[in-house]
A and B are shown apart, each in its own frame.
Chain A
Amino acid sequence: MHEASIVQEIIDITTEQAKQNNAHKVLEVEITVGAGAMIETDLLSGAFDVMKNETMLEDATLKINKVNLKLHCLNCGKISESDRMVSMECPHCHSFETIIESGREMLINKIIAE
């Protein structure tokens, strides 16, 4: 449950970026959240709607692109994808010798402002 901290960072970074571009109002923020980022996106949206008040993002919508967690199995070599951080087990050969190839990220991709 650290979504509020994440939203505060989104607001701070977006405000900084908007100001650098001489904008005064943010209309949309687009972010990417990996399935392995341990974030509940419904809670993130809920926190955003409350915390954006009295900021440049007051009228902004938060667009969340979810990306899957990709596990690379070192045992069988296969790559598996999951939309949830459920396990590090390879679904093909059941080995735990896996590495996370992607899906841990949390990024601000795009800001629409005026």
Chain B
Amino acid sequence: MDIKDINIPILSKNTKEGETNKKIFESKGLLTINLMSSPGSGKTTLLENIAPILNEKGFPCLVIEGDIATTRDAERINKKEIKCVQINTHGICHLESKMIRKAFEQLDVINEKILFIENVGNLVCPAEFYLGEHEKIAILSVTEGEDKPEKYPLLFKESSCVLLTKVDLLPFLDLTEDIFISEIRKLNKKAPIFLMSKKDKSSYMEFIEWLIQKHKFIFGGEQ
């Protein structure tokens, strides 16, 4: 028997699960962010630094940490008194919707307004799997080199915001911020690019404001 012309997207189940996730997140008033980058680009450091500021501004956060192994990232986030749950993928290079649902159920949501999903450090696979997020954000640290957007174009093309981290190290590299910006702009004309460094906390403020505006846009201003 031939079952013809079915043309079912292979990742349709993951996408459907992702849509259900999104409804759940929205019912709880959570703006959801999928953070994607190479290992070591500063995803956890970013969250350690911005979550306390967002909390002070009335936008408390939740974090789902994705890693192949260890709970080291979750321990770092928990130290900042931010609710966090760790997913260990045991070899899988990305997170999938159903993993997110299971992890989310372990979080005690009270009045939090932003859910960060820190994806597994990888520039290729995570971009293929929708998790129910409102925004995909790509992070690039200056020490990775300016060639990474062109080498891994999809992630940078499809992200709604790009964070350039560790910019305090630029003086030690033969590169300028303009080179990075023009390389990112080749692929993505619209996404705001925020430059930041953990040495200068004020460098996080523009991005924090962007997050708050996104939240207000989805859930209204009276938050």
Q: How big is chain A's contact interface, by range? A: 20 to 34
Q: Are A110 and B4 in contact (CB under 8 A)?
A: yes
In the complex formed, the residue of B with least CB distance to A112 is B2
Q: Which of B134-184 contact A (CB under 8 A)?
A: 150, 153-154, 157
Q: Are B8 and A13 in contact (CB under 8 A)?
A: yes
Q: Are B7 and A9 in contact (CB under 8 A)?
A: no
Determine the main DSSP class of A at the interface with B: mixed
Does A37 reach chain B (CB closer than 8 Å)?
A: yes
How far is A37 from B127 in the complex, measured between Cα atoms in Å?
A: 10
Q: Are B5 and A110 in contact (CB under 8 A)?
A: yes
Does A76 reach chain B (CB closer than 8 Å)?
A: no
Expressed in whole angstroms, the minimum distance between the Cβ of A55 and any Cβ of chain B is 16
B10 contacts which of A13, A38, A110, A111 (Cβ < 8 Å)?
A13
Q: Which residues of B have CB within 8 Å of A96?
A: 186-187
Q: Are A17 and B128 in contact (CB under 8 A)?
A: no
Q: Are B11 and A113 in contact (CB under 8 A)?
A: no
Contact with A along B51-82 (1 / 0, CB 8 A): 00000000000000000000000000000000
Expressed in whole angstroms, the minimum distance between the Cβ of B158 and any Cβ of chain A is 10
Expressed in whole angstroms, the minimum distance between the Cβ of A68 and any Cβ of chain B is 16
Known: A9-B11, A13-B13. A1 touches B93 (CB 8 A): yes
Q: Are B150 and A106 in contact (CB under 8 A)?
A: no
Q: How big is chain B's contact interface, by range? A: 20 to 34
Q: Are B3 and A12 in contact (CB under 8 A)?
A: no
Q: Which residues of B have CB within 8 Å of A106?
A: 9-11
Q: Are A111 and B3 in contact (CB under 8 A)?
A: yes
Q: Which of A1-36 contact B (CB under 8 A)?
A: 1-2, 4-6, 9-10, 12-13, 17-18, 21, 23, 31, 36
User: B interface vs A, CB < 8 Å?
Assistant: 1-14, 92-94, 96, 124-125, 127-129, 150, 153-154, 157, 186-187, 189
The 4 nearest A-B residue pairs measured at CB: A96-B186, A111-B3, A2-B125, A106-B10
- Would you list 12 pairs from A and B whose C-beta atoms are within 8 A, ordered by A residue? A2-B92, A4-B92, A9-B13, A17-B8, A18-B3, A21-B3, A31-B10, A38-B127, A108-B7, A111-B6, A113-B3, A114-B1
User: A interface vs B, CB < 8 Å?
Assistant: 1-2, 4-6, 9-10, 12-13, 17-18, 21, 23, 31, 36-38, 85, 87-89, 96-97, 105-114
